[in-house]
Amino acid sequence: MTDTVAETRSVVVEREMPFPPEKIWRALTQPHLIEEWLMKNDFKPVVDHRFSLRADWGAVDCQVTAVEPNRTLSYTWAAYGLESVVTWTLSPTGTGTHLRMEQSGFRPDQQQAYQGAQHGWQRFFANLEQALARME
């Protein structure tokens, strides 16, 4: 068996956001807020919690793998044969937060999923910024 880890690719999106990490953390971990920018869900920020993200096109099966409040959130993301991991990293800056999202685990034969994720996360980030701007 060959080691396929080196063959997988990641989608990375990074943004400087003019909001404190605590506010972004709420948007990443509270179900009603996640629904505003990502999808309907039954998320809980608890390691090993299984949840699904639901949209018109189908659902994503997920499981929380890491929770470090206001700093790191990681969960598996499985849909249509894609087994990947989404990791959010929040780093405070002088003017807000540097937010980094990495979705890792795209195999070479998953070009369509990879391109879809690149496009999709750009849209999700835009939605996230709008949701944060509306939040109290």
Query: Which tens digit of pLDDT belongs to each residue from 19-64?
Result: 999 999 999 999 999 999 999 999 999 999 999 999 998 999 999 9
- The whole domain housing 109 covers 10-134
3 within a domain of the structure (yes/no): no
What pLDDT, on the 0 to 100 scale, is given for residue 1? Answer: 45
Angle between helices 21-29 and 111-134 (to 10 degrees): 120
5 within a domain of the structure (yes/no): no
pTM of the model: 0.93
Does position 2 have pLDDT exceeding 70, yes or no?
A: no
What pLDDT, on the 0 to 100 scale, is given for residue 74? Answer: 98
What pLDDT, on the 0 to 100 scale, is given for residue 4? Answer: 46
**What CATH number is attached to the domain comprising 75?**
3.30.530.20
81 within a domain of the structure (yes/no): yes
Rounded alpha-carbon distances, angstroms, from residue 24 to 29, 92, 100, 101, 125: 9, 11, 11, 12, 11
Rounded alpha-carbon distances, angstroms, from residue 69 to 1, 5, 21, 88, 109: 38, 28, 9, 11, 35
23 within a domain of the structure (yes/no): yes
pLDDT tens digits along 65-118: 999 999 999 999 999 899 999 999 999 999 999 999 999 999 999 999 999 999
58 within a domain of the structure (yes/no): yes
1 within a domain of the structure (yes/no): no
Does position 5 have pLDDT exceeding 80, yes or no?
A: no
Into how many domains does the chain fold?
A: 1
What pLDDT, on the 0 to 100 scale, is given for residue 136? Answer: 83
54 within a domain of the structure (yes/no): yes
Residue tagged 């920020």 (tokens): 45
107 within a domain of the structure (yes/no): yes
